[in-house]
Structure 1
Amino acid sequence: MHTGGKPYKCIFCPKAFSHSPALNTHQRVHTGGKLCKCSVCDKAFAFISDLKIHQVIHMGEKPYKCPLCSKAFVRSTYLDDHQRTHTGEKPYKCSLCLKAYAQSTHLRKHQRAHSLEKPHTCSVCSKTFDFLSEMKVHQRFHTGERPYKCSVCNNVFVTSSSLVCHKRKHTGEKPYKCSVCSRAFATPFSFKRHQTCHTEVKSVKKKGAKQSPKNTSVERG
């Protein structure tokens, strides 16, 4: 007989559950328990749903496509974040300084600048980080771990974003296009470096325009 009661209470927060398996799954949020392991790169997750989303990266499947450009994404939430680059929407606002951001993660990172809080410390070099995910990526430089492998040439990488940029060497994809001269680039780093060429030219032109021509007078005899 079901009474509708929730006798299984979380020891970390006020949440309660009808069944003990649900409680055990929930408590992984607090303990960091990650029992769902990827068979390809050994990355582990607290929930099977997160593991399934992660495995799409290895398959190369990106089912969520932007209707305004050619970009595609693994998660619908990534697509939502991307589309704000087209619309300019910034729904996440800081309550302290009113700065606004397109992504909630960027807002959280900004808010820690007010508190100077970096709660995650590397056990090897004591460097501190805003987010646990950032610290885990950093620790790979100590361990030498490179879990992301190119399926074409077998090169391995520390981060998934490095692998994505590397794969463009094989595909020839150049998604970063300059709005000034229409040149296209494979990585955001090379794109930003290129943009400085235009800003430097503008700076020189602006400086030259401010300089008035010298006053020369001709004496007539």
Structure 2
Amino acid sequence: YLQVHRRIHTGERPFECKICEVKFIKNSDLTRHKIIHTNENPFKCHICGVNFINRISLKIHKAGHIGGKLFECKICKAKYNHKSSLRDHTRIHTGEKPFECEFCKAKFTRSSNLQSHKRTHTGEKPYECDICGVKVTKKSHLTRHKKIHSRINQSDICSPSPHP
């Protein structure tokens, strides 16, 4: 239990989904997550037909249909569909930064921000372009990078070919 609790503070997520690369603190969370990649989603939204793995996910989803948000910030009244989103938001008000970099002691409100920051120290580049092989530190950087390839392909199509 203590080892799992420490992961909350270190940002360590050792259990990774082999299908979508989402990482989890506990193996049981990964096991529960894997269900989304199968057709084992017994809770169906009667409005749009989307299926969910559990009742709370369906409830949160349905709130989106009616414009309702289930979790409200007591300080500024901002509303969120997910309890974890409210928790992360609340840290703006409290100044809490529970995730600390072991290399430089920088602190972060979210473990994902800590993980991303750590790559500046380790040089790890886990995201690789399947077109040219370039590696980058953030998924958003890979998405931005891939747009270069689509622009290059467009210019190849639109540019007149040189005549010898």
Q: TM-score, normalised by structure 2?
A: 0.69
Which residue number in structure 2 is paired with residue 154 of structure 1? Answer: 105
- The answer to whether the 8 A contact 2:60-2:70 is kept is no
Asked whether the equivalents of residues 71 and 81 of structure 2 are also in contact (C-alpha less than 8 Å), the reply is yes
Q: Distance in 2 between matches of 1:106 and 1:204?
A: 44
Which runs of no fewer than 5 residues in structure 2 stay unpaired? 160-164
Q: Is the 8 A contact 2:128 2:136 kept in 1?
A: yes
Q: Which residue of 1 aligns with 2:74?
A: 123
Question: What amino acid is the match of 1:132?
Answer: K
- Contact 1:178–1:195, Cα closer than 8 Å, also in 2: yes
Larger relative contact order (CA 8 Å, sep ≥ 6): 2
Structure 1 residues 189 and 146: CA distance shift in structure 2, 3 A: same
1:175 to 120, 126, 131: 126
Are the counterparts in 1 of residues 11 and 111 from structure 2 also a CA contact under 8 Å? Answer: no
Q: CA deviation at 1:127?
A: 1.2
Instruction: Find the counterpart in structure 2 of residue 164 from structure 1.
Output: 115
Match of 1:4 in 2: none
Distance of 2:143 and 2:39 partners within structure 1: 22
Q: What are the superposed Cα offsets for residues 29-69 of structure 1, whole Å, 9 maximum, x if unpaired?
A: xxxxxxxxxxxxxxxxxxxx5x652323446765546678x
Kindly indicate whether the alpha-carbon contact (under 8 Å) linking 2:63 and 2:81 is maintained by their aligned counterparts in 1. Answer: yes
TM-score by length of 1: 0.54
What's the counterpart of residue 136 of structure 1? 87
SS in 2 for 1:124: coil
CA contact 2:9–2:98 (8 Å) conserved in 1: no
Identity rate of aligned residues, in percent?
A: 30
Give the unaligned 5+ runs of structure 1.
Answer: 1-48, 210-221
